[in-house]
Amino acid sequence: MRARALALWFVGLTCWLTLPLAINDAQAARRNAAVVIESAWSADFAVSGCVQANAFMSEETKSRIRTFGCGAVAGCPQVMPRLTACTSPLDPKAQARQFEDRLMAEFATDPACKGAAFARDYGWRAQEPSAAEQAVMSRPHWQLSIDFVAGAPAQSWALQYLGEDDVTHGEGATEAKIAGDVCAIVVRQGGAPPP
């Protein structure tokens, strides 16, 4: 009798320990296949990067570049494309928006993104989202943050489902690569967005 009670206790303990895992798996299966690009983050990151690039170019650094060339000055080859982009007529925020425009076009045309919805959150200081964007943002969604660096050929990004701790990072990616990677994650772990 005692062995049977112990066996039942063990079964109960096993169920009690595995139930949270089953609930988490069920929650993951219910993830909404909707992605919101955090545009305010991209723009602010671009501006911050330009401030850093401009700070790099002190009078001493300029003198060393003139004397020895950019290749001989530590950090110059990496900073110069950023500095050139930061001093172009198009401000860094606008460059970040253009990158996002191209990314949204990739989301719209990539077959791997079929069944997912996309929107941009411009932040409280910028334009109002469209009705379609508001509909996407009002439901649970994935947040996509792009660490936009002006003048860089590829960008880093982070993707997180709203309210969860897990964050997926990608580095050195073009718009097409970001779209493919993000859609693979979102569509695999979610489903079609609700109507």
Answer whether residue 82 is part of any domain: no
Give the per-residue pLDDT at 57: 85
Structural domain includes residue 183? yes
Residue 163: its pLDDT value, please? 79
Q: Is the pLDDT of residue 192 over 70?
A: no
Give mean pLDDT, residues 68-73.
89
pLDDT score of 179: 95
27 pLDDT higher than 90: no
Question: Which range, of 18-22, 42-46, 59-63, averages the lowest pLDDT?
Answer: 18-22
Domain that holds residue 173: 31-46+91-191
How many domains, in total, are found in the chain? 1
pLDDT tens-digit profile of 100-120? 999 999 999 999 999 899 999
DSSP string, 8-60: HHHHHHHHHHHHHHHHHHHHHHTEE-EEEEEHHHHHHHHHHHHHHHHHH--HH
Tell me what percent of the residues of the chain surpass a pLDDT of 70: 80
Q: What pLDDT sits at residue 2?
A: 53
pLDDT at residue 125, as a whole number: 66
For residue range 122-180, list pLDDT tens digits in order: 887 667 778 888 888 889 999 999 999 999 989 999 999 987 889 999 998 899 999 99
Residue 21 belongs to a domain: no
108 occurs within a structural domain = yes
pLDDT at 24: 45
* 7 in any annotated domain: no
The reply to whether 26 falls in a domain is no
pLDDT, averaged across the chain: 82
Task: Specify the pLDDT at position 146.
Answer: 97
Residue 81 lies in a domain: no
In a domain, 120, yes or no: yes
C-alpha to C-alpha distance for 183 and 112, rounded to whole angstroms: 6
Q: Of 39, 184, 159, nearest to 100 (Cα)?
A: 39
Name the residue type at position 11: V
Angle (CA) 160-163-169 rounded to 5° is 15
Q: Tell me the CB-side half-sphere exposure of residue 25, using CA atoms within 13 A.
A: 5
